[in-house]
Amino acid sequence: MGKDKSIFNKKIIPLRTNIDYIDSQILSLLAQRQVQVEEVVKLKKKHHIPVYHPAREEDLLSKLRAQACKANLDPNFMEDLYRVILRQSRVKQTDQMEHKGIRPDAKILIIGGGGQMGRFFASLFQKSGYDLRILTEEDWDNAKNLCKNIDLCLICVPIEKTEDIIEQIAVFLDPETILADLTSIKTRPLEKMLESHPGPVTGLHPLFGPTAGSLDKQIIVVTPGRNSDHCQWLVEQLTLWGAVIVQSSAREHDEIMEIVQALRHFATFSFGQFLYEKHARIERTLEFSSPIYRLEFGMVGRLFAQDSGLYSEIIFATKERRRLLKDYIASLSEHLEMLEANDKHLFIKKFDQIAQWFGPFSEQAMRESTFLIDKLIERF
């Protein structure tokens, strides 16, 4: 066996050398590719063309898939690989593009610019050459002064302070100043802004955390308030930074967020609470975990790595949310009888009903999550 092993070691060296040489050639080609991409960016910048070109990407991918088949390579592998390359190229391009300001002369005041989300937007505006001011809690004496001649006042404070701050700041604003907020609820802040400020008003809700790093493909909900034309440059600026804009009424936004935020986080919280009560042995459990369980369990763990204050604000934000969560508990309690009676038939009946209601979304969810599970296996 020792001798066999040493023969193997001798024979494998030239093969590994070949592979290493091929890899260094691939690397050098990727570097050349990056140079070409930089040229494309310069050109796009000069001609004000957006970075993301889905049709070009899809075209490139389908060409590569066809070439892969001819070269005896797995086309799915080729597509996976190029999705990584195209993403990198998009990030590179956006990095260089996003600095461009739509109205770089505009004066912007961020209220709460000391918080994480405030700092994130402050840095975006600053890089794009806006005239930026920041108002933190200590600067209130200077508020009137900071509000002079500003084009946009962006409220970026915790949910529970939003309405008070709107009221306090609005009195200092010019009638032409845009008043906007980033709160994760929209109906009441928007009403308060419309009530307190006679000028242009718009609500914004960025659907991501301040750790996102860039706006590339991130969603921002826009709930128009008053004088949307006047606010248009702001929306365009967010788009140029890479954000995807979803337009909605404040009411629709809040109804959807009851589910997307309050219900989901509460369900996750309750699951974590139960694991804690039962003293579940997490480490050992993970050894028994298929990637899909690891993923779902990770979603629970992830919640508790975050700020409890933030989540209490999200969950307890409105009485509508609390009512929904009570309904959720009531809905769960209705399953007690089914469990008590060991009624599999009822379970199957309910399951099939829900499956039918979900319709094609289930299949799509299956595909998406299977893709992610493959990624998880790849990585760990």
Nearest CB to a second copy, comparing residues 177 and 183: 183
Our finding on whether 66 is near a second copy (CB under 8 A) is no
Our finding on whether 137 is near a second copy (CB under 8 A) is no
- Tell me the pairing of strands 178-181 and 201-206: parallel
**Which range touches a second copy (CB under 8 A), out of 105-113, 139-147, 187-195, 272-280?**
272-280
Given 2, 15, 105, 141, the residue binding a second copy (CB under 8 A): 15
Nearest CB to a second copy, comparing residues 171 and 280: 280
Tell me which residue has tokens 């979803």: 246
Cα distance between residue 231 and residue 236, in whole Å: 9
Question: Least distance from C-beta 55 to a second copy, angstroms?
Answer: 12
Our finding on whether 55 is near a second copy (CB under 8 A) is no
Nearest CB to a second copy, comparing residues 77 and 198: 77
For 44, what's the count of Cα atoms within 13 Å in the CB-facing half-sphere?
A: 20
Nearest CB to a second copy, comparing residues 133 and 186: 186
Given 62, 145, 232, 285, the residue binding a second copy (CB under 8 A): 285
Q: What would the two tokens of residue 162 be? A: 């939003």
Our finding on whether 260 is near a second copy (CB under 8 A) is yes
Nearest CB to a second copy, comparing residues 96 and 126: 96
Site string for a second copy, 176-205 (x = CB under 8 A): ------------------------------
Please state at what angle helix 264-277 crosses helix 308-315, rounded to 10 degrees: 130
Run of H or E residues at 360:
helix 360-379
Alpha helices by DSSP H, 98-223: 116-127, 143-146, 159-170, 187-196
Q: What are the residues facing 111 on neighbouring strands?
A: 135, 155
* DSSP count for the chain of H helices, then E strands: 17, 7
Our finding on whether 47 is near a second copy (CB under 8 A) is yes
Site for a second copy in 221-240 (CB under 8 A): 221
SS3 of 142, please? helix
Site for a second copy in 300-329 (CB under 8 A): 300-302, 304-306, 308-309, 311-313, 315-316, 319, 322, 324-329
- Tell me the pairing of strands 201-206 and 107-111: unpaired
Site string for a second copy, 87-106 (x = CB under 8 A): xx------------------
Tell me which residue of 299, 296, 291 sits closest to 374, measured CA to CA: 291
Site for a second copy in 286-305 (CB under 8 A): 287-290, 292-302, 304-305
Nearest CB to a second copy, comparing residues 123 and 370: 370
Given 54, 55, 229, 278, the residue binding a second copy (CB under 8 A): 278
What number of other Cβ atoms are within 10 A of residue 344's Cβ? 9
Our finding on whether 68 is near a second copy (CB under 8 A) is yes
**Which range touches a second copy (CB under 8 A), out of 111-119, 167-175, 231-239, 362-370?**
362-370
Our finding on whether 52 is near a second copy (CB under 8 A) is no
Long-range contacts (CB closer than 8 Å, 24 or more residues apart) made by 290-295: 291/373, 291/376, 291/377, 291/380, 292/369, 292/373, 294/376, 294/380, 295/369, 295/372, 295/373, 295/376
